[in-house]
Chains A and B, each alone.
Chain A
């Protein structure tokens, strides 16, 4: 049996930052598992930037303003003590990243450059052109190489083992050999990223964002916090969901329906296309719902027209966007409008972190950081540029927290762990031998479809109930799923099977959280309850997994400084 003091699951921004900090203690053995090669992690996809009140671009910016903007952006559902901790420590973290070699764009004084971003009252988003996440991910990987971090690439977390409330270790598969390992550990950091893939075909997320770590924690009794809060980006490419930057609307792009109308006139007559993300997303979906979109079903879309900006402006201001549209939708923005539709972008909810300073969860030994969890600093709506910041900052504190936990704890017995590993070995064998059944990809696509239509941008009781029912059916069908690959080595079909199982589990939690939150707040927008209801719902959703049944409870939001007020921009 493998044995490490600390295991980190995930090698994105959060995982690698944890690894660097946990392994600062030379007396601890630390290992990182990642189902893909570290630099493939989705942190690399972040383009826009990372928020910190450096005050370089605008000397009047402050930690306090960043704090206030984040709380307001969250529609007052963020825990304010955690947000203050976050905004206070971000500036020093940017300097640390600079010192690690992150190639930040610079201002005329040679300091890290900053740009304005949605929901921010000062330009505080630090960036590196339009590849901020990419360069941060690579710099962290370089630091890990320098510090000889022990990576297990192509290792897949299957489950965590907890017996009588005590964390024993985890079960993981070495995908390349097909071997299933029980790994004993004193502490673990889960940093497995988001689960936007519950909306499979309509998301900006990488194909592997399936919430494995979130589901693993859920299974051992850690609740999922606020899963109903899902951020949709208005301008995803129609055929793939790949993100087209907000800059398109910023530069003056038009949104056009089938009748050639600039339909935003109906929803935001003044701001038109420049309305906030959630409003624009809702408007596009209304057009499609009411039959004024192009195409049909999951293939529906509206057009974004940039032609009037002229070739010169497009080439100068939006060269990357033009390339994306050309490569991924086959459209040249200079000569043609591009088909777009909102796309699921970010999960505010996730593993319930109960102590923001150490990123501990209710089970001693299990810590979590990054998009897989909810601290919660994003509440009901995350501000652009706050996620990569969240990931590196809380990644660091999770690493330190897991290190300290490992020093305090000793290895427990490993009976349950071994039993869990044996069960996985049996399951793997059974799935390989199975010759017929229901096609798992069909189950996945049905889940995405029902989630998109019924727990998407607009939500109503009736539709969400439909989704809940469909997911129950799919969960039943999943028991009959068949993977179609009998190989032991590198059996990606089996991995996909486990991933789809995780997505189904999480989709059910998203739908349950949403149907029970009878108000509209942040990204959660209900036709039948169009306003925010602080009296009843200024609280976090916590969903517990009790086998087939989930149990829902609410917990208070920490408010230290800013009393809820109407969120106006």
Chain B
């Protein structure tokens, strides 16, 4: 009989260990079925969280062989197939404080979320007695971001959060800020966006992990791009991220390619570059990754590139 081998990370508040369990393979089951079966058949001390069983309450995020999944929605066959193995390791989600075994604490995250004022700041167009008029199109702007079930999988997979000191906002928090910033009923979008800017908005690395693992398919990275654009529109142009973006845009506009040597100077200024980036640059030069004497010429199709820019600007201004 085929057996599936589970290694589950345990934590009792003091010590951590991995514990092994086995279940007979059954077709068409979910990760949550495995957890529940282990708990009810072998070990009632195992703690994990779940409630709705159909991907709407957001309680059952868990890491399997290093990747985060919603346990109730993910089929066991799918992960066995993805990892090509009958050995699975379950761990709590990353970037969360673990309470016990696979259960994590949400309160610190909610405290952080409060920074973006995650509630509607009603515009003067509406009132309690009559509500609002909102066009179908305006509703569509908030339809997808309000799919968020706060499962935390985006945060668990986020590469910036993994290295960040805790300032950077979790993708689901950026989503909340975005959701209110684009809601036609909100009277103060900037109140949701400004805290985002103040909390390292530009540190998103665009690794896309959040967007690709979101069980609700929310386009989280597009929202980051939107929030950045808005921040520039709000006049927040004197920060590293915005300057980097401008340098990037200008390079490509004039030359059709990036000038890697000049990019950090335009972003951070000469002094900061000299003190912080030079050692890094020297290593890059040594490994042959950049040539400091190479000032790139415009690419052949530069006219076309500039046409694209013109078109993009037209669209923007419409």
Interface, chain A (partner B; CB < 8 A): 36-37, 39-42, 44-45, 92, 94-101, 103-112, 128-129, 131, 134-135, 138-139, 142-143, 145-146, 153-154, 176, 206-208, 239-240, 242-243, 324, 327-330, 441, 483-487, 489-490, 492-493, 496
Contact = CB atoms under 8 A, between A and B. Distances in A.
B131 A95 contact: yes
Contacts of A98: 126, 131-132, 185
A94 B57 contact: no
B56 A489 contact: no
Contacts of A329: 28
B143 A129 contact: yes
A94 B129 CA distance: 9
The 8 closest A-B pairs by CB, nearest first: A101-B120, A98-B131, A95-B131, A330-B28, A110-B133, A484-B44, A142-B119, A493-B44
B52 A99 contact: no
A95 B183 contact: no
A100 B54 CA distance: 26
19 contacts: A39-B58, A40-B59, A41-B57, A42-B51, A42-B52, A96-B131, A98-B131, A99-B126, A103-B142, A110-B135, A142-B118, A145-B114, A145-B118, A208-B51, A239-B28, A327-B54, A329-B28, A330-B27, A492-B44
Contacts, number: 161
Interface in B78-134: 99-100, 103, 106-107, 110, 113-114, 117-120, 122, 126-134
B73 interface: yes
B49 interface: yes
Nearest to A107: B136
Contacts of B258: none
Interface stretch (B146-154, B232-240, B267-275, B305-313): B146-154
B133 A109 contact: yes
B77 to A, nearest CB: 8
Interface in B175-230: 180, 183, 185-186
Contacts of B30: 327-328
B68 interface: no
A106 B133 CA distance: 9
A94 B132 CA distance: 11
Interface string B28-65: 10100000000010011101011111111111000000
A500 to B, nearest CB: 12
A100 B30 CA distance: 36
A448 to B, nearest CB: 13
Nearest to A99: B128
Contacts of B185: 98, 101
A153 B51 contact: no
Contact of A40 (B13, B58, B118): B58
Nearest to A153: B107
A39 B59 CA distance: 9
Given A101-B120, A101-B122, A110-B136, 14 more contacts: A39-B150, A42-B52, A44-B56, A95-B131, A99-B132, A103-B139, A134-B149, A145-B110, A153-B107, A208-B51, A489-B12, A489-B13, A489-B100, A490-B103
Nearest to A493: B44
Contacts of B127: 99
A138 B133 contact: no
B75 interface: yes
Contact of A131 (B12, B56, B128): B56
A327 B55 contact: yes
A243 B139 CA distance: 27
Contact of A103 (B52, B129, B146): B146
A108 B55 CA distance: 31
Main secondary structure, interface of B, reads loop
A546 to B, nearest CB: 33
A485 B120 contact: no
The listed residue with most B CB atoms (<10 A of its CB), out of A143, A153, A485, A490, is: A490
The listed residue with most B CB atoms (<10 A of its CB), out of A45, A142, A486, is: A142
B64 to A, nearest CB: 16
Contacts of A330: 27-28, 75, 77
Contacts of A484: 43-45
B248 to A, nearest CB: 34
A95 B149 CA distance: 24
Contact of B146 (A138, A324, A327): A138
Contacts of A240: 53
A112 to B, nearest CB: 7
A106 to B, nearest CB: 5
B57 A39 contact: yes
Contacts of A324: 54
Given A40-B51, A328-B54, A441-B40, A95 B99 contact: no
Contact of B47 (A42, A243, A492): A492
Given A106-B136, A131-B56, A487 B12 contact: yes
B57 A44 contact: yes
The listed residue with most B CB atoms (<10 A of its CB), out of A96, A101, A142, A206, is: A101
B135 A45 contact: no
Contacts of A40: 49, 51-52, 57-59
B146 A206 contact: no
Contacts of A139: 120
Given A95-B128, A99-B132, A145-B110, A327 B75 contact: yes
Nearest to A243: B54
B136 A44 contact: no
A504 to B, nearest CB: 17
Contacts of A95: 128-131
B58 A106 contact: no
A304 to B, nearest CB: 17
Contacts of A153: 106-107
A131 B148 CA distance: 11
A42 B58 CA distance: 11
A111 to B, nearest CB: 7
Given A487-B12, A489-B12, A110 B53 contact: no
A390 B118 CA distance: 26
A208 B147 CA distance: 23
B134 A110 contact: yes
A539 B77 CA distance: 52
Given A44-B57, A45-B52, A131-B56, A143 B119 contact: yes
The listed residue with most A CB atoms (<10 A of its CB), out of B13, B49, B57, B122, is: B57
A42 B54 CA distance: 11
Contacts of A107: 136
Contacts of B126: 98-99
